[in-house]
Structure 1
Amino acid sequence: MAGFSGVLRLSDLDDFIAPSQECVKPVKVESKTGRGVIQIEDDTIHSTPKYEKAKITLNDCLACSGCITSAEVILVNQQSHEEFYRVIAENEHECKRKVVVVSLSPQAILSIAAKFSLSPDECTQKLAGYFKKIGASYVFDINLARSFSLLEASKEFIERYKRKDSDPKAFPMLASACPGWICYAEKTHGSYILPYISTARSPQQVMGALVKDFWAGKNDISADKIYHVTLMPCFDKKLEASRDDFVNELCSSREVDCVLTPVELEQMLIRDKVDLSQMTEAPLDESLSSGPRLLSHPGSGSGGYAHHVFVNAAKELFQQDVMELQWKTLRNADFREVTLEVAGEVVLRFALAYGFRNIQNLVQKLKRGKSPYHYVEVMACPSGCLNGGAQVRPESTSSTKELISQLETTYSLLPTTSIDSDSRINMCYSEWLGGADSEKAVKLLHTKYKAVEMSTNALGIKW
């Protein structure tokens, strides 16, 4: 690292995948104009230029495999609550004013609700009240976005099933909503594993398209005049929002400008001297929200991808109405499977694989051609999104296991939204996207992945 700025030095990276390494990305540093140190030699005046500090962003880390990180310990300029406060402060100046929109994930809401001993609905409306108090104009939940994500994943699965005999990489189809898993796949297994991964966007990024394309158009607001913030249970969602794929091309504006997490929200509440339990409630804004109550989708606390795809595939492919899925635990509680039998033959075999121990076993089976599954809901965190790396940690009087159990129970008791009865979905497909199979629908509801070539010098690893 000789010759590089100390700002580029990343040490003590905490990750499931690789030992601590130093960032190897070279950064060109531009000199600053202005006064520097004056040296006089042989009657000649030399001005030593000042240099800007070199900075790395999450986007740099996505494009470089010099290190593999879980994004939790990287200093990110554009993905922090400090940046959020900066934009809020700038809104006091009319010439720089932006419309601040906040989108809330149910997993993050439940984590905060547990911290402050609030019901899910109370917490949702108190969060809306808090964000509006400090400068947000609109607050939505992301259930509508998740409905699109589930529908597109289900449609993709049906298409893969119909071509399974001619496409050796049609199955297993692997869920794409977890950015930690996606980053690991791109950097560690590259082009081998990527064809198996669903192209459906995650709810966060569908919400980005809804806010900066659909909602912005409806309200005659330019996308670059909107500052879109999401509250998510995972630091890796910052990685996802930083991808170049998720930019509004008309005005080069990121669809999600800033990702906040429950642990950061705790810091914000302390900074603002706010007791959330005493906060005045405010309703969610209606146009993109599911309603006055916090809702969920049936299935796992990670969004119910396997559940939705399984139920719809059983109905469409085999005319079977499946109401309840009977999951069977295999190696551990984070690896479960469910099957559908028709005439004594297993026609669908789905799995949940949470945590890198199970993910690595899944990948090894795939490489040996031994995976029996048609679909796998893959999440990097053990226990899934309710145990995301940025969720509020348990109090000293309870354990992580107890907290996760509490959150899972609370999530299971949330009323569920019905995708079939949500009239906004058909309206969006027809009026906004120009049809479910249109070019615009593919562009705004799907994405692509790319292998990242390994460039690390193994001798440079810090053990």
Structure 2
Amino acid sequence: MAQFSSALRLTDLDDFIAPSQDCIKPVKVERLPGSKAGKLAIENDGDYYQIDEQGTKTPLPKAKITLNDCLACSGCVTSAETVLIRQQSGEEMCRVLDESLAAPPESCGHRFPVVSLSPQSRVSLAARYGLTLKETEEKLTTVLKGFGVARVYDTTVANHVALIESGKEFLRRYGGDVTSSPGPLPMLTSSCPGWVCYAEKTQGSYVLPFISTTKSPQQIMGSLVKDYIADINGVRPNSVYHIAVMPCYDKKLEASRDDFYNDVFRTKDVDCVVTSVEIERLLEDKRIDFLSVDATPLDTLPGHIRENPQDHCGGGSGGYLEFVLRYAAREVYGHTLDKITYKTVRNVDFKETTLELEGKPVFKFAAAYGFRNIQNVVQKIKRNKCSYQFVELMACPSGCLNGGGQIRPQEGQNAKDLVMRLNDVYAMADMVDPLTCGGVSRLYADWLNGEDSEKAQKCLHTQYHAVEKIENAFNIKW
């Protein structure tokens, strides 16, 4: 048994695994060829049986899932992923920080550690320890700087930029931007790496053009840290060790993409991703009484004024739907949208909203969380029956606040109650409009040389790659 976070249950660490009990990939169980109709049953051990009219049970072949089939849902792990997880863990973070503190200032072992804290992780820790959002982030800053971290930033600034870029990209696709021709709709959000991995591995090149090219807040923050923050602190990008505290294990996979690697300086934009539950475990392992830790204010970028924690309207997954809808309504129709009313479709994790002007629908947006809802959207697109222009997609039911890396329910608390609590805590932050934050305008000017510059395109946008399955390649299972 490998010693990873308790959130990851590892069993046989070879390069082939049977479906985990938590695996969410749909598996179709076939009846035996030539058999008469009968019942299908599943035993406690997970084996499927076919039962004929006489009550005889015949075992059915087990479904097989290889690494190429995996949707990166954090339900199970193979040895091919264990190396990645070791590189992206709280233990690895502490090892690098310890080595950096011990190394001479001018040596290659001395690093400039920078932490970026996601709003969802901040909420998870606040709910776990019964603290306010500000108390949580300031206590965590004290702990991290005690480990040798040089700077601790809030990733909300990167979320500001991600929302603005998403809004502008939607206008280009919709045809509301006269400088470009319309693009494929619906535009699908790209901030969830679990969904992106699923699309690349299972949907080929058909669905990929619909996915927004805007980087996730984590990776925008990665570009910001390794370029702008490194520059204003007078250090080289490859001397910066960037740690992202995130609500999701799939963020580790995202940070490891080749697209987010700087060939010139030979460094990743995000060096290490640790989850909320890994931070909780770190505090426990170091026997830190988090409630008694002193407060240290977060670091801020030049021109950014931040008195209280900030978040965005529209829920704990970043608020993409609401921001883009308001942005498009204003830019295309000159309409200021105040209240957004949702209609639940199929289940609580699938909702839609329609903007009507002068009695006519002009925009129809949706938010779909969880793979069953994602698959419904994808199938509608494939059949050319999708009536939405924009869909906010997240792999986890209930969205990012319920990410696989979030702290688990405590004794006497169930998962549903915890999600409700996290939503309440999230709403305690100041809800801000990215377009009214003066620091964002300065960031575009000082860092990116303008909103539509070549550097802005390079630092804020990415591309996707269909993963081709190799059939019977030397009978190797990857």
Does TM, scored on the shorter chain, surpass 0.5?
yes
In structure 2, distance between residues paired with 1:371 and 1:142:
33
Query: 2:282 aligns to what?
Result: 268
Query: 1:235 aligns to what?
Result: 249
Indicate yes or no: 2:391 matched with 1:376: yes
- The alignment partner of 2:301 has SS state of coil
Query: 1:35 aligns to what?
Result: none
In structure 2, distance between residues paired with 1:167 and 1:418:
28
> Structure 1 330/338 Cα, relative in aligned 2: closer, same or farther at 3 Å?
same
Q: 2:126 aligns with which of 86, 91, 113?
A: 113
What amino acid maps onto 1:16 in structure 2? Answer: I
Q: 1:249 aligns with which of 236, 240, 263?
A: 263
What are structure 2's unaligned runs of at least 5 residues? 1-11, 28-66
Deviation of residue 159 (structure 1)?
0.6
Number of equivalent positions = 414
Query: 1:150 aligns to what?
Result: 163
In structure 2, distance between residues paired with 1:111 and 1:446:
28
Q: 1:209 aligns with which of 220, 223, 229?
A: 223
The equivalences for 1:192-207 within 5 A come to 192-207=206-221
User: Which piece of structure 1 moves more, 7-16 or 436-445?
Assistant: 7-16
Indicate yes or no: 2:88 matched with 1:79: yes
Preserved CA contact (<8 Å) 1:67 1:456: no
In structure 2, distance between residues paired with 1:335 and 1:108:
24
The equivalences for 1:2-401 within 5 A come to 8-12=14-18, 13=20, 14-17=22-25, 65=68, 67-71=70-74, 73=77, 74-75=81-82, 76-91=85-100, 92-94=102-104, 95=107, 96-162=109-175, 170-287=184-301, 291-401=306-416
Deviations 1:197-253 (A, max 9, x none): 000010000000111111111222100000000100000000110011112333011
Percent identity of equivalent pairs: 45
Deviation of residue 301 (structure 1)?
0.9
- The alignment partner of 1:111 has SS state of helix
Preserved CA contact (<8 Å) 1:191 1:450: yes
TM-score between the two structures when normalised by the length of structure 1? 0.85
- The alignment partner of 1:101 has SS state of strand
Deviations 1:74-113 (A, max 9, x none): 4223111111011012111112110110110111111111
What amino acid maps onto 2:155 in structure 1? Answer: I
- The alignment partner of 1:353 has SS state of strand
Preserved CA contact (<8 Å) 2:341 2:353: yes
- The alignment partner of 1:413 has SS state of coil
- The alignment partner of 1:299 has SS state of coil
What amino acid maps onto 2:465 in structure 1? Answer: K
> Structure 1 268/351 Cα, relative in aligned 2: closer, same or farther at 3 Å?
same
In structure 1, distance between residues paired with 2:132 and 2:176:
46
TM-score between the two structures when normalised by the length of structure 2? 0.82
What amino acid maps onto 1:225 in structure 2? Answer: S
In structure 2, distance between residues paired with 1:168 and 1:100:
42
In structure 2, distance between residues paired with 1:210 and 1:168:
29
What amino acid maps onto 1:305 in structure 2? Answer: Y
Query: 2:42 aligns to what?
Result: none
Preserved CA contact (<8 Å) 2:71 2:194: no
What amino acid maps onto 1:126 in structure 2? Answer: K
> Structure 1 131/456 Cα, relative in aligned 2: closer, same or farther at 3 Å?
farther
Deviation of residue 7 (structure 1)?
5.7
In structure 2, distance between residues paired with 1:455 and 1:290:
52
What are structure 1's unaligned runs of at least 5 residues? 1-5, 20-63
What amino acid maps onto 2:95 in structure 1? Answer: R
Deviation of residue 66 (structure 1)?
5.7
In structure 2, distance between residues paired with 1:460 and 1:292:
59
The equivalences for 1:419-438 within 5 A come to 419-438=434-453
Preserved CA contact (<8 Å) 2:283 2:290: yes
Preserved CA contact (<8 Å) 2:69 2:201: no
In structure 1, distance between residues paired with 2:275 and 2:388:
33
Preserved CA contact (<8 Å) 2:173 2:183: no
- The alignment partner of 2:281 has SS state of helix
In structure 2, distance between residues paired with 1:290 and 1:11:
50
Query: 1:43 aligns to what?
Result: none
